[in-house]
Structure formats: C-alpha cells, structure tokens
Amino acid sequence: VDVYQAGAGTSHNMNANEVIANRAIEILGGRKGDYSLVHPNDHVNMAQSTNDTFPTAMRVACLWLLRPLQDALRELIDALAAKGREFDDVVKAGRTHLQDAVPVRLGQEFDAYAAALRKDHWRLERAAEALAELNLGGTAAGTGVNAHPDYRMLAVERLAQLSGLGLRPSSNLMALMQSMTDFAHLSSALRLLALDLIRIANDLRLLSSGPKTGLAEITLPAVQPGSSIMPGKVNPVIAEMVDMVGFQVLGNDTTVAAATQAGQLELNVMMPVIAHNLFHSLEILANAMRVFTERCVRGITANRLRCRAYLEESTGLATVLTPAIGYERAAEVAKESARTGKTVRQVLVEQGVFSEDELEVIFDDYRPLTEPGRLMLQQDRG
C-alpha cells in the first residue's frame, strides 16, 4: 500500500484486516474471499478502528526499530570512549574559531564526542517511554464506542506479551488520537543525534585532512580509492556517508513536524507519512552508526608527531602564561609569534621574558596545561 494515500492509514489497516481474515478462512478450511466465516470488519476489526490500531502499530514499530539503533549508538559511544583512553597522552593544539587556542588532549576530544552521544541516548530513552503508551481501544474518536469495556486492558496486556515491550494503556485515549507529538518527540531526538553525528564526522574529516597539506593529526582507515583521476587519493568516505545520512534525517524530521501540526479536532490523518519518515530515520541512522563504528572510528590512529609539532608552533601557548605575565604581554607575544613565524618559546626568550631554562621547566610536560588550574611561577613576571 502506497505511503501517500487517503489519510490516517485506513488503506493499510483494511489491507491487513483482509489478509488476516483470508488466512483465518484458510485455516478454518474455507475459501478465500468467503467472508461469511471471518469478516475483515465484523470480526478482525472488532472493537477497533484505524484510528487506534494504526498509531498503535506505529508505536510498536518505532520501539522495535529503536532497539538496533540504540545498540548501534552504544557501540559507537564505547568506540569513541576507547579512543579517548587510547589518545589520552596525546597533547595537541586546541582550536576555537578554527584558530590556535590553548592545548587540549586528543583523548579529551574523543571523550567529549562520547559524552555528547550519551546525552542523545538519554533523549531516545525518554522518547521511548512516551511511545510505550497506547490508545488501543479508543476506536474512532477516542471515546471507545463499540469496544468491550475489558478490551483495552486485555489487548494491551497481550500485545505487551507478544512484543516483549513495556506497553501500557493511556489514561486519555482521545489525546493520543489527536496528538502526534510523541512521534515528533522521537523524531526530534533523532534529529539531535543526527546533528551530533554530523558534527563529529566533520571533525574527523577536518582532523584527518591532508595527508600533506591539511591538519593530518589523525588517520582514518582507508576504505576505497578516493578519486577516478587522482592516483593514491583516499577520501574520508565513511564520515561523508554519515553526513549524508544526517542530512536526510534532518529532512525527515521537518516532514514529521509539518505532519504533526496538521492534526484537526479528533484525529491527525497524516500518520502514514509520519511513520514512513520516522522508520526511514531509525533504519538509516542505525546502519550508519554501525558502519561508522566498524569501518572508521575503531581504526583511527593518532599522528603523534604532527600533533606535537602543531602544539609547539601554536600561538595558543601564550595564553597559559597569562597568570604570570598578564594578558597584554601575552597578547604581544602571540602577535609577534604570528607575525614572524617564530614559536612562542622563541619570542619569550628573545624578549627576555623567560630564559631557556625557565621555559624547559614550564613546558617540560604539556599535560598539566590541559587540566584545571593556573600556571604558577615563583617569580612575578607581571
């Protein structure tokens, strides 16, 4: 049944009712189409309406599709966290506004990626909790007309057993028939996840740019030849794939949002297109994260010499001297370094701010510069 059809999912529901009825007829020894034995409306659809079965099916399907997505997300988080531990000793130049900034550790960058995705996982959990509430038994308008009084509790209980999901009946069946915001909640959580994935993928593309004329602080696994004309070129194809999937999810979310606000009075008839876009996002995000983890993140290596070289050339090192020499003097040193191409250390020695021996002590270990605290010198250089 085509997604773009008469609204609310009636075509889908009746197609399912007819298939179920005919299969029941076969089991009973009858002839398909002889609805005197089992009728699609009178029997299969008893105590039901498209308006409560279709959103119920959407909720169950979303919860099922969330499982592989959440598994893939957890694996990606673990892989990024593992790289955070592996690269914890790699001190490098930080960058803000794509300009030199204070030192950071490569491991800290990957830890931050994992932390952002943990928040996305938490948001998905909250969305799943809302989707476990069902309006099954509300029938046509959420009033429950033509449904047995016990139907709602019995049907949801049985559906929970069959699905293995923690489903529960809603306290207000009409509200879930009118409002699709639980689906918009999930879609928005997927959108935020996509935004983080796009950002992380783009960072990896930037950090691995080169190999000779870019940053080249990390190396991504080579997956395929990157050019039909330039021999030896290798592109960050997996990260590029993640970007494109993320863009598609953003578009899907826009459609879900438009359809969510299109409900009128007792029913939102735009459910098929909401389901179509949500299922698409859930599927492609799960696949993208799995491939991203397996064929990109786990194989990333650090170019330690390049990281060290950029760090020692960074004008951001002047910042860590501010507690000792003051902001204005530190700014002069940074500007002189940028103007002449000399390192901050060279400028400091030439200007007589510090001796070589003092700088050896200050910069003996760059790691403390990546943690909370201030550079403290015995002699006041202010």
Closest CA to 252 of 228, 273, 272: 273
* Spatial separation of the C-alpha atoms in residues 61 and 279, rounded to whole Å: 8
Residue type, 141: A
| DSSP for 215-240, written as a single string | --SEEPPP-SB--SSSTT-B--HHHH
Burial 251-263 (b: 16+ CB within 10 A, else e): ebbebbbebbeeb
Closest CA to 176 of 55, 274, 287: 55
| DSSP for 137-199, written as a single string | T-TTTTS-TTS-TTHHHHHHHHHHHHHTS--EE-S-HHHHHH--HHHHHHHHHHHHHHHHHHH
Q: Write the CA distances from 259 to 178, 264, 273, integer angstroms.
A: 12, 11, 7
* Lookup: tokens for 325: 């020499």
Residue type, 322: T
Burial 331-344 (b: 16+ CB within 10 A, else e): ebbbebbeeeebeb
* Lookup: tokens for 272: 């098929």
Query: Residue 241: CB partners within 8 Å, gap ≥ 6?
Result: 288, 291, 292
* Spatial separation of the C-alpha atoms in residues 282 and 63, rounded to whole Å: 10
* Spatial separation of the C-alpha atoms in residues 117 and 113, rounded to whole Å: 6
Q: What is the CA radius of gyration of the chain?
A: 30
Whether 337 is catalytic = no
The active-site residue out of 49, 227, 228, 337 is: 227
Residue 302, helix vs strand vs coil: strand
Beta strands in the chain (DSSP E): 91-96, 99-105, 133-134, 168-169, 218-219, 301-302
**Catalytically annotated residues:** 227
